[in-house]
Structure 1
């Protein structure tokens, strides 16, 4: 039944995509983030829905009369430079065949990210994009939160298999990132029942993140909440809510959850933590030795034998920063950090320029919540190999579109 439902939704969307390519961009985000076909058990699990959506969107884009100019902002220019550099480093990969396979996946994500940036033009499009992200990840948050309530936190929450968020740590980070976006939707939803539903969804997402037993997720949500409180205009109210909600959530979790979180303090005795540090040292040594890095796939015993302090502890990077460093060298790391800084600065410009304009409150809210979401990703991503996770790139696209809309509206008002 689930396979049929997903198939009907995708096939039913094709005429809408041909009518307007922005519908295809939003469908792509839904397919790539939620991976709804993984929730079935039959033919849909192997059907290339993403390829069908992508090809239909590109076809519609080729013939549409709608505006399709790329907004060349600091964010899009830096993202383009980062993508170009990944293509430059590809021929210098240590394991070229494996790198080409991963390169193909990454370039599909980047291509459709640029398509989304090109097509998201209006406030309505931005709003729909945020809703698609909230629904796609909120589904797993609500499901995981109910699962955690039902078993008393005794079992871990996992994401959909064979996806970016299949690992318990990855699903925790994704759910943490989506909470601020749900809060933005709550602020901009006039219906009372919808606001109450988003309140429940945020609570269940937080509970599911805790139920994942992710130590990196706990650090990410702590950093995000702290930054959120510091930037809040109602520190007393928010502080009171946190003081009431946080202890209840933490006390709900069982003893084994607390034991695992306490192990953060003893990272030097934890094999997993030591394996990650060994992988980080390997990436650092590799980048110092090779200007172009090692390519997309470097988690191999051969590479660790040359560059790692402990050649027998072969691990993935487990860090977005050391992942880009090892795969694309110091130039790649610099471009990636510049990309994130450009996005952050663009969000700050939106907040500053929208101040005092009631009609732009939605833009300031979205920019502020996106910054909070990116704080969670910056902290949690320091312990996960999620460099190519597509959600942060879609948020960058939302910031680009929002800044263009703000500047256009202010210029129009001034004229």
Structure 2
């Protein structure tokens, strides 16, 4: 039954996408972030996401929306990074091994560029935020229910055969969308929606703790700390976080507490030291191939890893770090572009947030800039311990920041043009009063 419902709903979305390409983009985002087809066993294996992507791109071209394509610093860096990954793949130490990861990453970056370009107004902007939050939030709500029903005895994980299957990945993904939940809550006009989002936030926190992931727990602490530092209502936030987290942590079994206690004993943890070995191998591969790296995820190949460090190759596991994954796969140049992308997105959001008191900028833009900063910091720290560089979720946040910068720039130009027009009119009517509120 779920297969039929999914197929009918997808068909309706694609029908609407033929005329309205952004509907196709939202459907694409839903399939990418939530992967509903993975839970519909009758259509498992059917490339619905490829069909959706194809229809969306075709509609985007036919509708001539592509003529509105505008370069901005973030979009330019995404395209530059995609180009460098292409160069890296050409010089890969094992092209066959790195090809699937290259293909996946390029498709993800194409989707993100379209998100940045097609999000052209507030309605589309908030629709994409809602799609992101609901997609991850639904899985988080299920995870919270699982934690309560099992009394926290088992780890919460995402859907199988997805990038969020791993409990560490899933927990950090949920932590990344926590700021977006607050943004939507402030945007919501109806009390019932605000209350519902508050419940979703609480369930998401429970799900993060239920993953029993040390990296996800650190991300949650980073979120709370950064949110507390940037907020004016420090006492209220501290009280709210304590009321939510203390009972949840007390509810968890002793093994959860024991596991979190090992965070300060990383050098004695075999799993962590295996990651350190992988980091060293990725660094050495990048040092040996400074411009192009070894090719995406080629450090996982024992023969390639052993060529630079035979001893560590026997103990090394996956790098579990977005930074070392990119470093080993695309070299120092690839990492430099990647870090530039993250930094540009963060500071773009920071600049927009800093203008929240500017009457010429709508309040919702400043609010999103504020919460997007927190989201970037949470993922940036959480990603240091996970292989999530190809996850679409944080890249959607970056695309939203890019869209927001363009919307702000466009409105600034319109405001400047309107002000210049009023000033010109004042020469003809000297007694006229010019007020920016008229803009």
TM-score of the two chains, using structure 1 as the length reference: 0.97
> Which consecutive unaligned segments of at least 5 residues does structure 1 have?
none
Residue 436 of structure 2 aligns with which residue?
none
| Contact in 2 for aligned 1:165/1:171 (Cα 8 Å) | yes
Structure having the higher Rg: 2
| Contact in 2 for aligned 1:141/1:208 (Cα 8 Å) | yes
How much has 1:354 moved relative to structure 2? 3.7
Residue 335 of structure 1 aligns with which residue?
337
Q: Deviations over 1:360-385 (max 9, x none)?
A: 11111111111111111111100001
Matches within 5 A, 1:9-408: 9-42=9-42, 44-66=43-65, 68-291=67-290, 292-298=292-298, 299-308=300-309, 309-357=311-359, 360-408=362-410
Q: Deviations over 1:190-237 (max 9, x none)?
A: 111111111111111110111011000111111121111111121121
How much has 1:304 moved relative to structure 2? 2.2
Provide closer, same or farther for how the CA distance between residues 23 and 329 of structure 1 changes in structure 2, counting only shifts above 3 A.
same
> Which consecutive unaligned segments of at least 5 residues does structure 2 have?
419-439
| Contact in 2 for aligned 1:157/1:208 (Cα 8 Å) | yes
How much has 1:408 moved relative to structure 2? 2.3
State which drifts further: 152-161 or 263-272: 263-272
Q: Deviations over 1:245-293 (max 9, x none)?
A: 2212211111010111111122222111111000001011111111211
State which drifts further: 80-89 or 262-271: 262-271
State which drifts further: 366-375 or 319-328: 366-375
Q: Deviations over 1:125-184 (max 9, x none)?
A: 000000000110011011101111111111110101111111111110111111110111
Q: Deviations over 1:1-43 (max 9, x none)?
A: 221121111111111100111111111111101000111222x
| Local SS of the residue matching 1:312 | helix
State which drifts further: 119-128 or 248-257: 248-257
How much has 1:351 moved relative to structure 2? 1.4
| Local SS of the residue matching 1:311 | helix
- Separation of aligned partners in 2, 1:358 and 1:160: 44
- Separation of aligned partners in 2, 1:40 and 1:20: 26
* CA RMSD between the two structures: 1.4
Q: Deviations over 1:314-338 (max 9, x none)?
A: 3111000000000011111111110
- Separation of aligned partners in 1, 2:415 and 2:115: 27
How much has 1:413 moved relative to structure 2? 3.0
How much has 1:301 moved relative to structure 2? 1.0
How much has 1:358 moved relative to structure 2? 8.0
Q: Deviations over 1:51-97 (max 9, x none)?
A: 11011011111210446422311111111111111111111111111
| Contact in 2 for aligned 1:123/1:402 (Cα 8 Å) | no
| Local SS of the residue matching 2:312 | coil
| Contact in 1 for aligned 2:147/2:207 (Cα 8 Å) | yes
Provide closer, same or farther for how the CA distance between residues 322 and 12 of structure 1 changes in structure 2, counting only shifts above 3 A.
same
